Amino acid sequence: MFVKLSRLQKFVAKLLNLRITLSSREAEKVPTLRDILPIEFCTEFQTAITLLSGGQTVELMRTLLFHLNQDCVVVLEKQQGDCTLLFLQIISKLMCHFLRGTRVADHSVPSQIVLKFSSMMTELQDLLGKLGQALLHREHNCLLMVAFLQLCYNWGEMKVLLIHYSVKYESAADLQLAALQEDISATNLSYLHPYLNSELWNLVAQRIDNFGEADCKELLVKLILQKLQAVVLYVNNNKTRQDIMLSAARHLMSHIREAWPIILTGANALLVTSVLNPEQLECFANHVVQEIGCSSESCSEGLDALKKPGVQENRILVVAFTCAALRCIMKLFSGIKRKIDRASHQVVHLTLARKVLTRLDPCHILTCMSKDDLEALTPVVRDMASAVNGSFKKEEDSLVTDGWKLDVMGVQRYLHILELLPLQHTPGILKSLLVVSILALAITFERSDISRGEQLSNIRSLLYRHLLLGLLDSPGLPDLSSYLSIGQLANWLTNLDLPLSRDLQCLLFQRLFESSLSCSSTLHQLQDEMPVLQKQSSQWPQDMKTLGTAVALLQVLNKHENPEDQSLCLKYQRRLLRSIVRIMEHQDGAAASPSVFEGYNLMLIWCLQEGDSKQLEKLTPHLSTVVEACLSQIRSKDLPTQSSSIKSSLDLLATLLQYKFQFNAVLPSNFIHRVWSELANQDMSAGLSTVGGSEHMQLVFEAATEKELYPILQDLKVITKVAVQSSEKPEILRARLSIWKAVIQSRFSDGRINARKMALEQLCQMLTVFVNRCRVMHGTSGESSMLPVLELLLTITQKSLLLQVLMKFRESVVLDCIPSFLQCYRQLATTVASHGHVDLRYSAAEVKQYAVCAHGLERLTNLLKEHKPYFVRVAAYIVADLLQFFETYTLYPEVKIHYSNCIHSLLSICDSHAILFLSRTLTPASQLLLKTFYTTYNKFHRFTGKV
């Protein structure tokens, strides 16, 4: 918008000369401030101010001060004519953005400029004093007062910066301390804004309280917070500072309706929490939470305020809002009987939630937080947990007939507030308190007679998924075993239809059991509540019901290393193994359950790692059945590719592949080939590489013998050729190439290396033909199918053992192969550059893919430096080709940086003759590029022998 910054001062002067034109228009025809100075203009203006030099900044401020004085202040003081309201708004807006954008308060600015700017700040101070007094002699006008207060606030912000950087302003600030001590009221702003005395500032605040609109009141709160910040930073007298902070806290609490959105903005939250005592902080949090939960208009604004870093990083505020939300929920459960209730108010059983949440005292919690004495909360948590433990033993009646009602939507809104707060980073004792409160709410809703509609579904998702699991799966696991009966809790959760996926359910139970491992007595009590852990277990249908929970416990026990609990853990593991074997013996489809697969897999791993052959003998008779069940699960087309059944089947097959040598006697003879066929077929049908992922495919290749590997690679070449020839489904080609990556990354013995070498040579020929054909057919258009091909070619070139062996041990062969190598290198570099320029409008994900290809080319170029004697003759030609790409295309920055690194690597290979040769033969544009790259190389990249 502002192309030439030198004209900015003239532009502002001509803009402000429009006062006469504006004053001559009729009131109906006068444009609004937003029409004259739109938001986009103000943003560009502030950015242009940042780029101005010191002298231009001073001249522009002098122009603004002149028009503010002549066209506004003088007219208001002499009361000769009317000052155009719109014109004062324009000058105030421009001056505010000027003060926000200027860089004068910086050590890099010359001292002469700082002195001139400081003198003009003093001049602006005098003008603000005259303007404020003139406004007080007139009838209150909200728009005029807003323009004045905006100027005051931005002047104060600049003054604080000047105090920080300039010694001159420190003494000026100290001079106002006497006036501050005489009147410690919150509205006495004369300490930071001395152009009005305390009486006048109090009069301004009184007028705003009586006649001001919301904008005026918010600006007054900002000025009070600004003064409070200056007092905290620069007033050394402790008594004066404490008195002012108490006065400011009382004022903010009395004007909390206007103050709370500003307090939660920026660094004000940290400032205010240090001022408010626990009672005031509780009152503030209650007001904010009630505003968010009760008013739909301020709900979105309040939720956005809770997401700001100033709130998220303030532990005191987080705890205050958490307690306030729980207390608001408790009030919903403790409502009175209504004659007329909304449709969203439903009958519910109130006993447990009310019994637990009424024990919550926010003021006591905040006091313990401020004194850093959280251990004092232990009796409170223990008392709340005893009520929850009692509910596990005695299930109370759920029907209510006395007319109590519950606002379900209100509960959902307050739970959403808890979801937004970073409860995972609260202290451990508070996490335990929150978990107990959430469990009380969950038990109440599960035993209530609320209709199972969408509202209750949302509440259950918030309780279990976002709050309970979020607290348990967080740094610093809460010590629940000291308060809750983990076995009874796990048994209660097992009998529920939790709104969690199977993986999240397993994670939830794992975190619960990890909490119980901190106490050996709690670990011993698990067998009393989980039938699958008892010595005389019930029949297998009951074992199947609790098997998922038992598998989660088994995963935790396998990681437990406490010597005191080893015997008990071993007993639990053997009883779990007995239950799994009993389930495997039934032919009712139970063996195909994901929980059975996971449990069987965990027991296999445990027996193999511990060397327990006796227990392993109990599992191996069912191995063939398990393999058939796993393969049938992978083969099934009714299951989604990301289902837990397929995932658990793949994990079990991965274990068998990893320990194939130990199970050779019991595994089917064609086990490797069948696993490969099922993975490849499933991958072809889905078009995804997640099912036959690189990790599982790599295990198949590494477990295969040389005799088994040859037909697998032949089969892979055939299906890859079909995918290359089929241009309609590029996702199939992408999946096939991901399998080839697994081939490259596999660790083979000498016999299987030869099979891989021959397969990769044939693959390179096939893909090179494909790239050439695509270039002829599509030119430089972006083809998604080209990206995986180029990435794989670069991977083969870098990681192929054949190329490494040739470059290390066959130097004469390398010299003979250099022309062919250069042709392949040039083909790759040309293709990536022709598809990675900005004329092709790509998304961020597509640009990242091309950047990955360019990064592979850079790594390949770095390998050339290790063989400098052989590539010194041809490095100059490669540099010329790369410079030609810079001249032809405007590459994306993500791609360009890798090509630049390639040139720097090649320049380290070139000798002085090559540099002279390039400087004589390149085009003028390429010569300029070479000069730039060579200068950068000598300055930053060339090795000089210094460390």
Examine the fold and report which residue of 428, 460, 484 is the final residue of a domain before the chain moves on. 484
In a domain, 704, yes or no: no
Whole-angstrom Cα distance, residue 730 to residue 385?
Answer: 57
Residues 294 and 248 occupy one common structural domain: no
CA 791 from chain centre, in angstroms, equals 29
Which residues in 839-871 are b (16+ Cβ under 10 Å) and which e? Answer: ebebeeebbebbbbbbbbbbbbbeebeebeebb
**246 lies in some domain:** yes
The three-class DSSP label of residue 495 is coil
The reply to whether 358 falls in a domain is yes
Please report, as a single letter, which amino acid is at residue 311: V
Task: Dihedral sign for Cα 419, 425, 426, 432, please.
Answer: positive
Q: Are residues 371 and 465 located together in one domain of the fold?
A: yes
Task: Using DSSP, state whether 890 is helix, strand or coil.
Answer: coil
> CA-to-CA distance for 249 and 698, rounded, in angstroms?
65
Q: What does the block give as tokens for 430?
A: 């508070």
Evaluate whether residue 693 is within a structural domain: no
Are residue 199 and residue 122 in the same domain, yes or no? no
Co-location of 88 and 158 in the same domain: yes
Same domain membership, residue 226 and residue 201: yes
Residue 190: inside a domain: yes
Question: How far is Cα 607 from Cα 86, in angstroms, rounded to an integer?
Answer: 83
Question: What is the maximum span of the chain, computed from C-alpha positions, in angstroms?
Answer: 108
Q: Could you read off the pLDDT of 343-377 as tens digits, one per residue?
A: 455 444 456 888 888 898 999 999 998 888 889 99
Shared domain for 259 and 299, answered yes or no, is no
**For the chain, which residues score pLDDT lower than 50?**
1, 3, 167-173, 175, 336-341, 343, 346-349, 397-403, 684-692, 780-783, 798-809, 947
Mapping DSSP onto H, E and C, the string for 159-195 reads: HHHHHHHCHHHHHHHHCCHHHHHHCCCCCCCCCCCCC
Residue 724 in domain: no
In a domain, 694, yes or no: no
Separate counts of helices (H) and strands (E) for the chain: 50, 2
Same domain (yes/no): 201, 329? no
**Encoding tokens for residue 123?**
């001049």
Element (H, E) at 346: strand 345-346
> What is the number of domains present in the chain?
4
| Secondary structure (3-state) at 240 | helix
- pLDDT for the residue numbered 348: 46
Domain interval for residue 461: 289-335+349-393+407-484
Buried b or exposed e, range 36-45, using 16+ CB within 10 angstroms = bbeeeebeeb
**857 and 935 assigned to the same domain:** yes
Specify the 3-state DSSP secondary structure of 891.
Answer: strand
3-state percent breakdown (helix, strand, coil) of the chain, nearest 5? 75, 0, 25
What's the distance, Cα to Cα, between the start and end of the chain in Å?
47
Q: What is the pTM of this model?
A: 0.72
Q: Are residues 271 and 308 in the same domain?
A: no
CA distance 467 to 343: 27
Question: And the tokens for 36?
Answer: 């004259």
Candidates 532, 485, 294, 457; CA nearest to 388 is 485
Q: Are 43 and 146 found together in one domain?
A: yes
**264 and 216 fall within a common domain:** yes
**Do 197 and 244 fall into the same domain?**
yes
Classify residue 431: in a domain, yes or no. Answer: yes
Cα torsion angle, 309, 310, 315, 321, sign: negative
Distances (CA, A) of 78 to 101, 145, 451, 698: 33, 18, 72, 89
List of long-range contacts for 311-317, beta carbons under 8 Å, 24+ apart: 311/264, 311/269, 312/421, 312/422, 314/269, 314/270, 314/273, 315/369, 315/425, 315/426, 316/273, 316/281, 316/366, 316/369, 316/370, 317/269, 317/273, 317/281, 317/285
**Overall residue count recorded for the chain in this entry:** 947
